[in-house]
Structure 1
Amino acid sequence: MALSATVSRRLVLRAGAAIAATAAVPRLAFAQNEPDVTAIILSDLHSPYRRLPQLVAAVRNRAAGAGGKVIIIVNGDMFERGNVVALRSRVAPDLLALEKLARIAPVFFNIGNHETAVLEDMAIFTREAEARGVHVMSNIIDARTGELLAPAGLSLGVRDRRVALSGIATDNIFTYRPPIRPTVTIPQPVAWAESLMGGLTREADAAIVLSHAGVAADKAMLGTLPERTLLIGGHDHLDFTHQEPGLAYVHPGSWGNGFTVASMTFNAEGGADATFESVAIARDDDPDADIGNAVATAMDEHLTEVDRAIVGTAPQTLDLPGAILFATEAVRAAADADVAFLGHTTFGTGLEAGEVSRYDFDAFIRFDGDIRTVDIAGERLATIMERANQHRATSLDARTGDFVHAAELDIDPAATYTVAVNGWTAINQSAYLGTEDLEFVEVPDIRLKQVVADALAANGG
C-alpha cells in the first residue's frame, strides 16, 4: 500500500531523527576486538522445527568463537502457518528460540510478511518479540494509529564508532494474510530508501540495511544506498553474496538450512570492510537441548495420526532444488507436458531419504494448487528457460527475485511445446516467467500436492 506524501514525509523525518538520535546517544555500546562487528544473519526461517534446535546451537557456537561485537540479525518471516505444530502451539518453539538467541547476543529483527502467519496482529508480534529481549525494526505503519510498528532505525555503538541499522518491509500487500491487510500501511521500499538513506550514515561509520522487499526492489535500492552499506536481503529464499565498491549485498538462505556470518572491520577511509562465511545446518547436527525439548513436546501434543501418516518414500536425500526437480517431473508426467515450471517459494525445504510423513511433506510443498498448461513456440520457451533455475545464478544481473525451477530441455526453436505450471505461477507469470499474455488452461482432476505425493508413494511400492 502506498503512503500518502504527507504521511510519508512525516514518518521518514521521524525515522531519520530516530537514527540520528541513536547515533548521538548509542542505544548499545561495547568494548571491541578485531573484527569490529560479527553479524550472524538469518532470514525466512518459517518455523523450521526439524532444524530449529540445530540452528540455535550452531549460532551459539559460532558466536562463542567470533571476534568483535557479535550481533544476530533476523530479516523477517520467523513463522509458518502451514506448519501445523507452529499453528496449534501458537509458535511456542519459535518464541523460545528468539529468547534463546537474545541471550547469545543482541538480536535485531526486521518484520517480514509472515510475522502474522500465526499471531493475529503485527503489534502482537512486536510485543512478544520485545518481551524476549529482541530489538524489533520496521518501516511498516500501523494503519489504526498512523504510527510505526517499531523503530525504523537503530544504532549500535562499537568502540568510538557507530553502525546504523534500518528495516524495510515488502509492500506487496498480497503476501500478507487477508485479515492483516487493513491494519498496515507499507511504504514503497525504493521510495522509502531514497527518502531515508541519504541521512542514514550522516553520523554513523557504517550502515546495515535489512530489506525484506525481495531482489527486484533491492536491485533498484542499491543505487540509492550510501557507501559503507551492508544490504541484507530476504523474502525470496535465496542464498548468495554480491559485492561491489563500497557496498555488499547478501541473502543468507531460508528454512533453517543455514546462515551467513559477516565479519565487519572499520577501515581508515571511513566505513567497514566485510567478509562472508556461509554455515550449513543439517538435521543430525548437535541440537540446543531446550529448543529440542520444546519442539518434541509441541510435536507430541499437536501432531495427529493424519499428520504422522506416511505419504511416500524419498529414494535419497534431496536438497531443495533437487526436490523441486522431482516435483517438476511428477507434474510434467501427470499433465502430459514437455516441461514443467514450478515457482520456487511454493516450496519450503528439501526431502530426507526414507519415509516422508504428511508433516514433512507439507514443509516441502507449502501451498497446494491446480495445474495448468499452455502450448508455446520453442523460441519463446527458450527465452523463459533463460530465467529459470536462478539458484545457479552467478551474478546479480541474472537474478529477478521470483523464479521457477525446471528440468533442462534441448529446445528446438521451431517446435511447439506443452508447458505445465502450478496455478500460482500462471497467475503471477510476469514475475516468474517474464510473460504477461500466456493463456494457461487448467488440467482437470489433478492438484500439485497429490501429483507429487503419488510420485513419492510409487517409490515405496
Structure 2
Amino acid sequence: MKQADVVGRVLAVSDMHSAYERTAQLLAAFETEVRSNPVPHVIAIDGDIFEHGNVVAVRSGGAVDWAFLRALPAIAPTVFNLGNHDNDLTPDLAEVVDRMEGLGIHVVSTIGDTRTGAGYAEPSTTLPFGRRSLRVVGMATNSLTTYPKASREQLTIPSAPDWARANLADSLAGADLVMVMSHAGVAADRDILPLLPDGGLMIGGHNHLLFQHRQGRSAYVHTGSWTAAYTVAEFLSNGSVMARSLPIALNAPASPALADLIADTLAANLTEEERVILGTSPRALSLGDTGRSVAAGLAKVAGADAGFIGHTTLGTGVPAGPVSRYVFDSIVRFDGKLMLASVPRAQFDSFMAHANQDRPMPLADRSGDFLYASTIAPTVDPVRIVTTDWCATNQREYFGTTDLRFVEAAGLTVKTASAAGLLTP
C-alpha cells in the first residue's frame, strides 16, 4: 500500500497490567512508528494499564505506568478507554481520570459514578487526525466483580451492547472517521459489531486475545496483553481500515529514560523474598503454550486426566532461564484451590473444542472467557478433570455448563501446582 493511500494510523494496545519487562520497548516502538511514518497518528489504550498483582506497581504507586502515560501525548494524541483494572492502585476512579486528563490524555468511558450520577468521563470524544478527525467512543465491561472490591459501590456500568444499541448511533452522528473502543470482551463485542459503520475501526480488550477480523471495509482487532504486542490500524483513502499486529521482543530497542526508571523502580521495591529463584524454565514459551503447560502440570499434580486453567489467570509467557518469585507471579497471577470432577468423554470433547482460543478460529466460535487445556490421558472415559476454584465456581462462563460436580483436591494450590508444571528445581 503506497504511503499516500494512508489517511492516518492508530497505534493500539490494551491490558498492559503493569508488565514492565516490555514497557520501555513499547514506548520506543511508538516513537519509531510515528517518526518513520509521516501521517497523522493516534495512540489508543483500551483499558487495564495497571495491575494490583504487581507488588512493584503497588509499592511505587504505578510510577512506571504513569511515566509511560505521561510520555504518550508528546508522541501523538492519546485516548484511553477505562477498563476494570484502571483503579487497581488508586481506588477512586475519579482521581485516575483527573490525573490522566491532566497529562493531556483523552479519557472515554461508559462507567458512571454513583456518588454524582455523572460519568467518570464522557463516552465519546473527537480527536484531530491531520486534515480529518477521528470520533472515538469507549465502552466498559459491566462485570462488576472484576473491578477492585473497594470501588464497586461507586460504579454503575451498563451492558456495553445495550448501551451501544441505545446510544452509539447518536454518539457517532456527524463523525468523519470512526473508532469504537470496547473493554467488554468478545461476547459483548459481537453484538456491537453490527452497529459499527462500514469503514470503522473497533478495538476490543479484556479477554487478553490477539487477532484481527474483517467486516466489510471495517477492522475489528484485539491487541494482546501484558505489553507483548501492539496493533497498527491504518485508515485508507478508499474508505477501508487495515490492521496488523506487531510483537514486542524483550531485547527490542527501549526508551532510555523509561528503561532507567524501570530498573530503579524494581531495585527500590523488590524484597529479597521476591527475588528468590523458584526454578528454571528450559525454554521460553508463548502465553498459550505456558497455559497448556500449566494445565498439564495441574493434571499431573492432582492425578487427573486433563487440566484446565482460565486464560486471565495467566499474565505472560514463561521466559527461559531462572524464574524469580516476582516473575512467576506475573505468569500465574492468582492463587486458589484446585478442584476435581469426572465428566463423560463426549462432554469433555466439547470442552476441548472451545479451549485454547489463542489459535486462529472464527469470531463466532470465540467465547471471550476461555480455558487453556491439556490432556495427559487421551482415551479414558469418563475423564477426570482438574481446574481452579475460580473456574469451578464460574463454570457456566468457562465450561458452558452448570452441571459439573467439583470436589476439592485437598492440599493443592494453583501456584504450587503451576510451578511444578513449568519449572525445574
> What TM-score range do you get, normalising by the shorter chain?
over 0.9
Whether contact under 8 Å (1:312, 1:454) holds in the other structure is: no
Residue by residue over 1:61-110, the C-alpha shift from the partner in whole angstroms, topping out at 9 and shown as x without a partner, is 11211242111000000001111100000001100000111211111000
1:386 pairs with 2:353:
yes
Query: Distance between the aligned counterparts of 2:92 and 2:15, measured in 1?
Result: 18
Amino acid at match of 2:396: S
Whether contact under 8 Å (1:198, 1:226) holds in the other structure is: no
Counterpart of 2:373 (choices 403, 406, 411) is 406
Query: Distance between the aligned counterparts of 2:18 and 2:299, measured in 1?
Result: 30
SS of the counterpart of 1:342? strand
Residue by residue over 1:316-341, the C-alpha shift from the partner in whole angstroms, topping out at 9 and shown as x without a partner, is 11111111122111110111000001
In structure 1, the residue matched to 2:207 is 236
In structure 1, the residue matched to 2:344 is 377
Residue by residue over 1:107-152, the C-alpha shift from the partner in whole angstroms, topping out at 9 and shown as x without a partner, is 1000000011111211111011112121111111111001111121
Query: Distance between the aligned counterparts of 1:54 and 1:159, measured in 2?
Result: 26
Amino acid at match of 1:319: S
Return the TM-score normalized by structure 2. Answer: 0.96
1:437 pairs with 2:403:
yes
Whether contact under 8 Å (2:200, 2:241) holds in the other structure is: no
Q: CA deviation at 1:273?
A: 0.9
1:103 pairs with 2:77:
no
Whether contact under 8 Å (2:223, 2:245) holds in the other structure is: yes
- The sequence identity of aligned pairs, in percent, is 37
RMSD: 1.6
Query: Distance between the aligned counterparts of 1:40 and 1:157, measured in 2?
Result: 15
More displaced stretch, 69-78 vs 220-229: 220-229
Amino acid at match of 1:452: S
Query: Distance between the aligned counterparts of 2:49 and 2:401, measured in 1?
Result: 32
In structure 1, the residue matched to 2:120 is 149
Counterpart of 1:261 (choices 232, 239, 264) is 232
In structure 2, the residue matched to 1:313 is 280
Query: Distance between the aligned counterparts of 1:363 and 1:82, measured in 2?
Result: 8
Q: Name segments (4+ residues, structure 1) moved above 6 Å.
A: none
In structure 2, relative to structure 1, the CA distance for the partners of 1:99 and 1:439 (3 Å cut) is same
In structure 2, relative to structure 1, the CA distance for the partners of 1:70 and 1:307 (3 Å cut) is same
Whether contact under 8 Å (2:212, 2:244) holds in the other structure is: no
In structure 1, the residue matched to 2:137 is 166
Residue by residue over 1:213-233, the C-alpha shift from the partner in whole angstroms, topping out at 9 and shown as x without a partner, is 000000111123333321110
Amino acid at match of 2:95: I
Alignment of 1:4-403 (within 5 A): 34-158=5-129, 161-267=132-238, 272-403=239-370
More displaced stretch, 152-161 vs 204-213: 152-161
Q: CA deviation at 1:455?
A: 4.1
Q: CA deviation at 1:265?
A: 1.7
Whether contact under 8 Å (1:376, 1:416) holds in the other structure is: yes
Query: Distance between the aligned counterparts of 1:122 and 1:33, measured in 2?
Result: 41
Amino acid at match of 1:453: A
Query: Distance between the aligned counterparts of 1:189 and 1:384, measured in 2?
Result: 27
Q: CA deviation at 1:393?
A: 3.1
Residue by residue over 1:19-77, the C-alpha shift from the partner in whole angstroms, topping out at 9 and shown as x without a partner, is xxxxxxxxxxxxx9651110000100000111111111111111211242111000000
Whether contact under 8 Å (1:165, 1:207) holds in the other structure is: yes
More displaced stretch, 231-240 vs 65-74: 65-74
Whether contact under 8 Å (1:36, 1:67) holds in the other structure is: no
In structure 2, relative to structure 1, the CA distance for the partners of 1:280 and 1:436 (3 Å cut) is same
Whether contact under 8 Å (1:205, 1:228) holds in the other structure is: no
Whether contact under 8 Å (2:11, 2:233) holds in the other structure is: yes
More displaced stretch, 326-335 vs 166-175: 326-335
Query: Distance between the aligned counterparts of 1:265 and 1:409, measured in 2?
Result: 48
Amino acid at match of 1:105: A
Whether contact under 8 Å (2:5, 2:237) holds in the other structure is: no
SS of the counterpart of 1:386? helix
Q: CA deviation at 1:408?
A: 5.0
Q: CA deviation at 1:362?
A: 0.3
Query: Distance between the aligned counterparts of 2:132 and 2:231, measured in 1?
Result: 23
Query: Distance between the aligned counterparts of 1:71 and 1:160, measured in 2?
Result: 13
SS of the counterpart of 1:337? coil
Whether contact under 8 Å (1:53, 1:291) holds in the other structure is: yes
SS of the counterpart of 2:21? coil
Whether contact under 8 Å (2:293, 2:422) holds in the other structure is: no
Whether contact under 8 Å (2:298, 2:421) holds in the other structure is: no
In structure 1, the residue matched to 2:387 is 421
Amino acid at match of 1:378: R
In structure 2, relative to structure 1, the CA distance for the partners of 1:158 and 1:58 (3 Å cut) is closer
Q: CA deviation at 1:351?
A: 1.1
Query: Distance between the aligned counterparts of 2:12 and 2:365, measured in 1?
Result: 23
In structure 2, relative to structure 1, the CA distance for the partners of 1:326 and 1:47 (3 Å cut) is same
Unaligned runs of 5+ in 1: 1-31
Whether contact under 8 Å (1:193, 1:225) holds in the other structure is: no
